[in-house]
Structure 1
């Protein structure tokens, strides 16, 4: 992992003095060069003496008032924050503890210790920080800070894998503990079959496909060869000793008598190794990383296992590998949702078009999401609550708005997980701040737009919100430059939480045919159905990972909707693909569609009208500018180029009665553009297992057209060339897996017959054949 070796930049120690208040006692290894009183008050939150232990989080180098200026400059690292003028963001994890002691004045002593780190997953340092503060209570000296500083910076993560965005998306939505196992262990370069190394822009030749199908047929007999999907190379004799007839016979008997067999075992990397050794020149074939079976495997590849040694104690550390910069700490969306879910939550205050997208029936979580993306000033109040609980809710809200860090950015830059009265004027002047407080005075005197009370779950919209956040008039459809008429009917991409076209039509019926929103709202609106689905999943004890994935989908669909809105109202878009449908031109050339998919144009107009105000609110924020930059960068640098991949997969997944020509073009385009590892990962990131995985692709195995079936087999063969593709193939049901193997075998047999017909000499008439004197028949031993 490419990261700074300095995991801990500073260690701070603060104490509460009954005469002087909160005091910053130590700063190691040097003073930060910022307001010491501010740091002390952040480390010793209000009411800390009422809590035996509490955790708080705050940031440095975030805004001009909390910039650090140490005498000795920190290690030079490029700025990763949205504002290039500020230094690299430092995350501060603080532990405050109260120890009751009758010998002390007021009967207790309160101390806090904090570490400043560049890692957003700061929760991994909690165990060592606990030990260090205990150490300081027993022996209060700067030596404790020095030991903590040295221990953290001695932690070794140099061999931790650095995952790409698509790899993170795949990892975070699966519970398998062996994903990307090959990235954790020493590797050896082994030749890869030609099927997986074909040129990106060229479909595999029949010869290469033949080699791949030979490997595919091995799945018929490889169910008992290994218990792992990624295995080391086996002896050559194991591969060559069994004939194809024996393999087929073994598979037939096994499929009849054993339902729970492994079907894609020999589809591992080792099958390519064995195939590559069957008479082919390995020197001309690129290499693929293969696991070293003798190395130690991680127990869970979601984390990198390392350790911190402090005062002779070795503390195991599990560093998460799939987090994004907008995800800080161990937040919980489930806690945020359950805190602000009806009937416990009551929304009060005036209605605002940016916030109340479903009138008075707007779900509280959706209102909070709307406030986050439109840049409203938000306060989370936790009166007589631990400051750590308030900070966790703030960080969860930031993740909610950003799509769990995978879609949008710019939330952490304006977040203050714990804020105090000390520097109130500074952070209240940050546009669209997201602050957590414990002092109830902010409700009456604070300059906020939306207040969320953690204690009783109520949400209050400020009475003067129309003054602080005036609503701009919406663009008029039909204005110069706008798109008036669209051709083609787009079906199938139902909003999150809605299944099928009937629900889509029902949820969008709250608007009349002219696209005007029903001011009274509807209980069965799209957003309400989505939230009912989320709450139901939580009640059935689905995990945090699923909830995060659903909100990532929700935010992704929102930004794709914005692109359609800009096209219809403004004439063009820079935040997404232009909207078009599949069409065949006069000269016979077919063109794939792109953009968001709706049931029909009427439902598109209705949904755009519902979301128009919050879209306009978002378009006036820095987050929108950041997203446009990110989208343009992604289009220029992503592995799969030239078409809207999401659009094609949604068409395959949800649209009924797709034209055969469109299906064929989609599958051919996928085969031609999914060849390398990065392209495979980008495709699989859009096919999460909890939504069916590869099912939209494997339905092509049963299409009536042979060409579409062949394209599907070609694509699955490429996926099988990589360990991550094998994992996804193993997620298919037995029927789809067997269909893949059967068709691969059939294609190989046909190719084999065709080659023999071209290469073998003509066979004479069997009736004129005379056996030799050495044949069994001539010796009288024939039957």
Structure 2
């Protein structure tokens, strides 16, 4: 890993925040604007704090900025490279000093996305610099930090592989003790790259212990080996949801203009819809430390992505900390996810669409939303879908917003709540995308979200309903949300990725659609046979199997939905399912999923396979 820059800043009683030193020193770029961010509001109230934020390098302008290109912030490629900055702040109480103390900060800038794990190293670097503050000391500290190569631990795997590795609890199913011991023994002097071809499930984190400045064993960093797009920093989605899920209803004041069900929308649904439609979402606190604030902001960005990089483009509109000096640039953006510590933001309701008050655990909807363009239509877009208008929706209620809230409330008391919450958010947003595919194809006659439909060898795609009327009714109710989402960068990004997918089975059939039909519908034996035969025929490559496994989380039964085919009435279907499971069992991750099948399923598999041989 390479640290690109290191900075220090101080608070000057006469000038305010000032950038003190930087290394490497270069006259090409002006970093003086960093001082305001490195010394956040109200920092003098705490002895120490830390925060994470982003820097955007604009290649066309050859300059750094806290903000992406305004014209490209929501749609289109940004043309800028994102750097991750970790900043530690220290307050010293000194009676003889001006204002009775000093404020200082040190920050490192790197392209390494898991910069938060470097905090122990940065704390050590700060102590060394503080003992002898000078540009020469900073240079020595910079070179020491650059001696670590964290990138060598990163797995070079696909997005679906990352989803499998980070959102499944393999420790329940494999003897992880020996693997964890091996992973925890990695050191800086013996680092190596992990190869995705390894047959064992690779560790998602390694513990790095190393000596620093001649003091052995004093520094340890827990380094992630897997990267999920949009999911960076110390994010905790379950904590974000727990903070607001039982708070007052943000749309209740608009009962005179909204149907009762929409006015009573849970605050989490309001937050998810606002993030999905890329509204201006501001997190505000005047009591919590800066690192807690930035954790909430980064958690919101991860939440918007489906907790797994399912939707992308949010980091370009995420600003973990902003102050009043950034307001003009912030307001140029059509949407953002930001954090602030100055109470002034609360009183400027035209600066935000959604205000997440962390001190009082309340979400506020800006009255200014009702004054824009189509008035209360803006409120309807972030409210719940009025499912009470659909007579047959209860048959598929698992994917309604009300059921999502009910599931989340149960998961929040579970021991493994963060993993379960992430999976649930991912499945909810995946159902939204699939309904959007159905909407586009039904009303627009084609879907950029899935441009391969016309070439499908197996009929069926998107979402499914008990009958066509039910589908038309639900999609009509959701039309406003779909049309608003179609204007966003996350929509454009998803369309681009689908058009360029390297998953061959996705060119022939909608695997997610057919798996859910097996799970949720009482399909006929003929229909089940058609699905199982198609899965065996078109799932051929390792990446196809990886994609299949990413749709079959272990805590929801894993490959059980496939093993049902072992009991099909047709001998041909049973034999094809055995062949499909055999392919999966040879896969680097599939072997674990296969081992998690019930003993009865394994016996049936072995019996049919023995007969075939």
Partner of 1:553: 427
Partner of 1:17: 12
Does residue 632 of structure 1 match 2:499?
yes
State the Cα distance separating 1:180 from its structure 2 match: 12
State the Cα distance separating 1:544 from its structure 2 match: 1.1
| CA distance in structure 2 between the partners assigned to 1:347 and 1:387 by the alignment | 29
Partner of 2:404: 530
| CA distance in structure 1 between the partners assigned to 2:346 and 2:256 by the alignment | 19
CA displacement 1:513-544 (0-9 Å, x = unmatched): 799xxxxxxx9992122112112111233331
Does residue 149 of structure 1 match 2:142?
yes
| CA distance in structure 2 between the partners assigned to 1:301 and 1:566 by the alignment | 40
Partner of 1:93: 86
CA displacement 1:60-107 (0-9 Å, x = unmatched): 11679997369xxxxxxxx99986553311111111111223343333
State the Cα distance separating 1:348 from its structure 2 match: 6.0
Does residue 730 of structure 1 match 2:604?
no
Alignment CA distance shift 1:472-1:347 (3 Å):
closer
Partner of 1:175: 169
| CA distance in structure 2 between the partners assigned to 1:716 and 1:743 by the alignment | 12
| CA distance in structure 1 between the partners assigned to 2:306 and 2:331 by the alignment | 25
Alignment CA distance shift 1:687-1:733 (3 Å):
same
User: How do residues 107-506 of structure 1 correspond to structure 2 at under 5 angstroms?
Assistant: 107-156=100-149, 157-158=151-152, 160-176=154-170, 301-306=203-208, 309-313=211-215, 315-343=219-247, 346-347=250-251, 350=254, 358-445=261-348, 447-468=351-372, 470=374
Partner of 2:382: none
Does residue 564 of structure 1 match 2:430?
no
Alignment CA distance shift 1:458-1:694 (3 Å):
same
SS of residue in 2 equivalent to 1:698: helix
Partner of 2:182: none
State the Cα distance separating 1:742 from its structure 2 match: 2.0
RMSD after superposition: 3.6
Pick from 86, 99, 103 the counterpart of residue 106 of structure 1: 99
Partner of 1:607: 474
State the Cα distance separating 1:598 from its structure 2 match: 2.1
Partner of 2:40: 45
Alignment CA distance shift 1:743-1:65 (3 Å):
closer
State the Cα distance separating 1:548 from its structure 2 match: 0.9
| CA distance in structure 2 between the partners assigned to 1:560 and 1:357 by the alignment | 27
| CA distance in structure 2 between the partners assigned to 1:352 and 1:28 by the alignment | 59
Residue ranges of structure 2 left out of the alignment (5+ in a row): 66-71, 180-195, 379-384
State the Cα distance separating 1:174 from its structure 2 match: 1.6
Does residue 645 of structure 1 match 2:511?
yes
User: Comparing 595-604 with 308-317, which one deviates more in the overlay?
Assistant: 308-317
Pick from 411, 418, 433 the counterpart of residue 544 of structure 1: 418
Contact preservation (8 Å) 1:60, 1:68: no
SS of residue in 1 equivalent to 2:81: coil
CA displacement 1:465-512 (0-9 Å, x = unmatched): 1333536999xxxxxxxxxxxxxxxxxxxxxxxxxxxxxxxx975116
Alignment CA distance shift 1:675-1:179 (3 Å):
farther
Partner of 2:191: none
Partner of 1:26: 21
State the Cα distance separating 1:623 from its structure 2 match: 2.3
CA displacement 1:337-390 (0-9 Å, x = unmatched): 11112245655665899x999511111011011111222112111123222222
Alignment CA distance shift 1:643-1:304 (3 Å):
same
Alignment CA distance shift 1:724-1:438 (3 Å):
same
Alignment CA distance shift 1:159-1:661 (3 Å):
same
SS of residue in 1 equivalent to 2:578: helix
State the Cα distance separating 1:563 from its structure 2 match: 1.2
| CA distance in structure 1 between the partners assigned to 2:74 and 2:42 by the alignment | 33
CA displacement 1:591-618 (0-9 Å, x = unmatched): 4322212233343234323322222221
TM-score, structure 2 as length reference: 0.85
CA displacement 1:240-296 (0-9 Å, x = unmatched): xxxxxxxxxxxxxxxxxxxxxxxxxxxxxxxxxxxxxxxxxxxxxxxx9666xxxxx
Contact preservation (8 Å) 1:132, 1:144: no
Alignment CA distance shift 1:540-1:96 (3 Å):
same
State the Cα distance separating 1:662 from its structure 2 match: 2.5
CA displacement 1:601-645 (0-9 Å, x = unmatched): 3432343233222222211222222221122122x6546531111
| CA distance in structure 2 between the partners assigned to 1:606 and 1:612 by the alignment | 10
Alignment CA distance shift 1:44-1:709 (3 Å):
same
State the Cα distance separating 1:34 from its structure 2 match: 5.3
CA displacement 1:15-57 (0-9 Å, x = unmatched): 1122221111011112485554421110000111101221122
Contact preservation (8 Å) 1:420, 1:437: yes
Contact preservation (8 Å) 1:177, 1:302: no
SS of residue in 1 equivalent to 2:589: helix
Contact preservation (8 Å) 2:91, 2:104: yes
SS of residue in 1 equivalent to 2:33: helix
| CA distance in structure 2 between the partners assigned to 1:351 and 1:609 by the alignment | 22
Contact preservation (8 Å) 2:247, 2:267: no
Does residue 674 of structure 1 match 2:539?
yes
SS of residue in 1 equivalent to 2:500: helix
The answer to which structure has the higher helix fraction is: 2
TM-score, structure 1 as length reference: 0.67
State the Cα distance separating 1:734 from its structure 2 match: 1.1
Contact preservation (8 Å) 1:44, 1:96: yes
Partner of 2:530: 665
Pick from 602, 605, 610 the counterpart of residue 740 of structure 1: 605
Contact preservation (8 Å) 1:16, 1:111: yes
SS of residue in 2 equivalent to 1:559: helix
Contact preservation (8 Å) 1:91, 1:118: yes
Contact preservation (8 Å) 2:503, 2:544: no
| CA distance in structure 1 between the partners assigned to 2:420 and 2:225 by the alignment | 17
CA displacement 1:681-706 (0-9 Å, x = unmatched): 12211111111101111111111211
| CA distance in structure 1 between the partners assigned to 2:334 and 2:73 by the alignment | 20
Does residue 707 of structure 1 match 2:572?
yes
| CA distance in structure 2 between the partners assigned to 1:57 and 1:356 by the alignment | 41
Alignment CA distance shift 1:39-1:343 (3 Å):
closer
| CA distance in structure 2 between the partners assigned to 1:302 and 1:550 by the alignment | 21
State the Cα distance separating 1:664 from its structure 2 match: 2.4
| CA distance in structure 2 between the partners assigned to 1:600 and 1:514 by the alignment | 9
State the Cα distance separating 1:735 from its structure 2 match: 1.1
User: Comparing 663-672 with 544-553, which one deviates more in the overlay?
Assistant: 663-672
| CA distance in structure 2 between the partners assigned to 1:437 and 1:510 by the alignment | 38
Alignment CA distance shift 1:180-1:25 (3 Å):
farther
| CA distance in structure 1 between the partners assigned to 2:114 and 2:61 by the alignment | 21
